[in-house]
Amino acid sequence: MLETLLNQESDRPVPKEQALVLPFNAVGIADISLVGGKNASLGEMIQQLSPKGVKVPTGFATTAYAYRYFIAKAGLEPKLRKIFADLDVEDVNNLRLRGKKARYLMLETAFPLELQQAIAQSYQALCQEYGNDTDVAVRSSATAEDLPDASFAGQQETYLNVHGIKSLLESCHKCFASIFTDRAISYRQNRGFDHLNIALSVGVQKMVRSDLAASGVMFSIDTETGFKDAALITAAYGLGETVVQGAVNPDEYLVFKPTLKQGYRPIIKKSLGSKEIKMVYDLEGMKLTKNVSVPPSERSQYALNDQEILQLAQWACVIEEHYTQVHEIDSPMDIEWAKDGLTHELFIVQARPETVQSQKVKNVLSNYHLQEKSQVLLTGRSVGEMIGQGKARVIFDVPQIHQFQPGEVLVTNRTDPDWEPIMKRASAIVTDSGGRTCHAAIIAREMGIPALVGCGNATTVLTTGQEITVSCAEGETGKVYQGLLPYQVQQIPLENLPRTRTKIMMNVGNPEEAFGLTAIPNDGVGLARMEFIIANHIKIHPLALLHFDQLEDELARYKIAELTAQYENKALFFVDKLAQGIGTIAAAFYPKPVIVRLSDFKSNEYANLLGGKQFEPKEENPMLGWRGASRYYDQRYREGFALECQAMKRVRDEMGLTNMILMVPFCRTPEEGQRVLAEMAKHGLVREENGLQVYVMCELPSNVMLADEFSQVFDGFSIGSNDLTQLTLGLDRDSALVAHLFDERNAAVKRMIVKAIATVKQHGRKIGICGQAPSDYPEFARFLVEEGIDSISLNPDSVLKTLLEIAAAEAGNH
């Protein structure tokens, strides 16, 4: 067949606008009207970015002219207009019938011979380069696709592992017909596009053998928060369709772009996905591809190594910078990548503008807050920082979608573009599988509804008709609650907010919330607590990791072995997780200062960590016992503290996040401060080296009374009003019996603070406050401003109201 078509070739040159087929290296971003966004982008990258090291597989595209030539030559337009004359996309059955008729009409109409010849010739050129019957991917690309304000992604079909001219022509024909899939018809109708004005181009691209390696999706922006300085990469084994469709829970990696560009290695997050299946070539069967199980040993490993993660992130930066120049506006990108299992090379196989976060209005901050909580039925990856609720509707496949009622919560295994006609009517979406870059996640963001993906067993736990609340407003882990819970939506205008002399900082403990908090006006982080990361992400006592083989608690041994399965060196698990957690917070607010308090667990809290009881003493009053600085240089704990130091050194030296300032808690004497600094220096954290500043918590009366001496040891102070109040008034703040006497506004406490601020400023050091008081009491914030404090660190939910109080205090309006 190939020879027959090739023998009829013509040598006549034709203008680009009338070519039936164009090679990728002959098109660029200006040719979207000729070859659609996807193919124009591939050509652009091959021409412009290959010299910068970005690898893109070559190929060719049928043109919009070819599509229109096919429609005109066969006289299809009047027939298609007749089919769509009474189209009603709100009626699922009407939509399904019209789509079926249109696709049948397209498939039953033969391609013109000239088009068949043009495709055959271009395929032959690929075969000459890569070998007979070379394997190609065949993808559709609509001519209005990938405009910054209209995402046609996933609207048409893709065919992988296509061999030979006969299969190629069949796949191209199916792509032409897929311009009339139900979801594409619905999408165009809802956005006011004329169905016959949109043309379709088909991209034919040399396959990357990722069936033998891995593939995935990456964004040059954080998809949830719109944080622009991070590249998000997802990865799973096999061909990329499983990640795009949401058939697997992929690995996730976050890389911080600004310090990556400076030559550092800032992988600020690595999250292992279950990766249970992979799509591979079907070499024996009749199909092009098939899904197979991934062996457990591979599932428990990351699909990419660190060097590959960094390489992809660098390409994301190069691609984003190029498209930002082309479009003359910030252009975050949505990119598909693949790794070839034969050559072990990485390739970019698609790139398009990101169309959700980049279109959001940035001058209003919307905060969702649950006012009550109930039984948690499920957890998953949260998408969309919102809350939705309604009756659950469990649907397993497309033929059932007509059962869906507006306002229900769609619960399913996974979605693909065929589900889109009902997704826009859902109050929320919950899926068993998928990661943050799967179809359900992308469409939910685009439609402005919350989604919980990768829950594992949503379709078995939830039942149709059950009333549920889906909360994606509590960080990266979203929850499904029993019942319809009350919630608030706070709309905060960010325009015209006053600027204050006093620096307004935030208390941040949870790395999962850090990117989202950067939208709140701030001057950095006044308190980043390690305890949240150790308790929630690590969960294991550091000494239990260092002395794993000597652990006496069998259950703890089992749980620790499970959590650290990827690590031969168990202690490295602690270093990795702590560095990534703190690195995320430092990156979120970079280059503003982020003050990280070294661990301040009490012995009873350390004992509650896995394996902790074996290494901790029983104290009568842990609040006043072995905590903070006194642990760090003590023979019984110093090797645990060494792991903290290694993690913090990695954040500064490997990730390049030198905006991180370290802070020593519960430091009783200046001499103890010197001992801690000496211990830190042993592990490469030398004060003043590479700009390292070390602060001290001002939370003991001794810190106030000896503030002049502490000023010789440390670079700055942060008042911990909770402990300072406790120790000034002689109160145990854990005791309910005296809780009513606890008040930071007590005159004795305020005099302590006045003395601390005056002494520290006299010695040329910085002093701020990170305790609870200014978040709770506006008058306390005013008092601090009047005393000349340098910075006030607040809980995120109280920043804006306190900012206004501080501005008024500085202006003298109180």
- Both structure tokens of 30: 């200006």
Specify whether the CB–CB gap between 3 and 132 falls below 8 A: no
Residue 493, phi then psi, degrees to nearest 5 = -70, 135
Q: How many residues in total does the chain contain?
A: 814
HEC per residue, 348-374: EEEEEECCCHHHCCCCEEEEEEECCCC
**What is the spatial distance between Cα 708 and Cα 761, in angstroms, rounded to a whole number?**
10
Specify whether the CB–CB gap between 439 and 240 falls below 8 A: no
Specify whether the CB–CB gap between 460 and 412 falls below 8 A: no
Residue 770 bears catalytic tag: yes
List Cβ neighbours of 59 (8 Å cut-off, separation of 6 or more): 23, 24, 42, 126, 136, 203, 204, 205, 206
Specify whether the CB–CB gap between 663 and 600 falls below 8 A: no
Specify whether the CB–CB gap between 537 and 581 falls below 8 A: yes
**What is the spatial distance between Cα 269 and Cα 794, in angstroms, rounded to a whole number?**
26
Q: Which residue among the candidates 438, 455, 472, 770 is catalytic per the annotation?
A: 770
List Cβ neighbours of 713 (8 Å cut-off, separation of 6 or more): 670, 673, 674, 677, 696
Q: Which residues pair with 139 in a beta bridge?
A: 158, 203
Q: Which residues of 231-265 are buried (b: 16+ CB within 10 A; e: fewer)?
A: bbbbbbbbbbbbbbbbbbbbbbbbbbbbbbeeebb
DSSP3 helix / strand / coil % (the chain, rounded to 5): 45, 20, 35
Q: Say what the alpha-carbon torsion angle 662, 623, 799, 382 is, to the nearest 10 degrees.
A: 80
Helix (H, G, I), strand (E, B) or coil at 662: strand
Specify whether the CB–CB gap between 545 and 568 falls below 8 A: no
Q: Which residues pair with 508 in a beta bridge?
A: 528
Specify whether the CB–CB gap between 379 and 479 falls below 8 A: yes
Q: Which of 589, 365, 361 is nearest to 490 (CA)?
A: 365
List Cβ neighbours of 802 (8 Å cut-off, separation of 6 or more): 504, 774, 775, 778, 781, 792, 794
Specify whether the CB–CB gap between 435 and 453 falls below 8 A: yes
Residue 317 bears catalytic tag: no
Beta-strand pair 364-370/346-353 = unpaired
**What is the spatial distance between Cα 763 and Cα 307, in angstroms, rounded to a whole number?**
46
Nearest-10 crossing angle of helices 670-682, 638-649: 60
Q: Which residue among the candidates 195, 322, 439, 541 is catalytic per the annotation?
A: 439
Instruction: Give me the residue label for tokens 């000896």.
Output: 706
Specify whether the CB–CB gap between 469 and 370 falls below 8 A: yes
**What is the spatial distance between Cα 644 and Cα 650, in angstroms, rounded to a whole number?**
10
**What is the spatial distance between Cα 226 and Cα 213, in angstroms, rounded to a whole number?**
30
For 225-289, the DSSP string reads T--TTEEEEEEEES-THHHHHT-S--EEEEEEHHHHHTT---EEEEE-----EEEEE-SSSSSSE
Q: Which of 585, 583, 591, 587 is nearest to 523 (CA)?
A: 591
DSSP conformation class of 155: S
- Both structure tokens of 790: 């340098």
Specify whether the CB–CB gap between 29 and 333 falls below 8 A: no
Helix (H, G, I), strand (E, B) or coil at 477: strand
Amino acid letter, residue 2:
L
Sign of CA dihedral 28, 31, 34, 36: positive
Residues tagged active-site: 439, 770
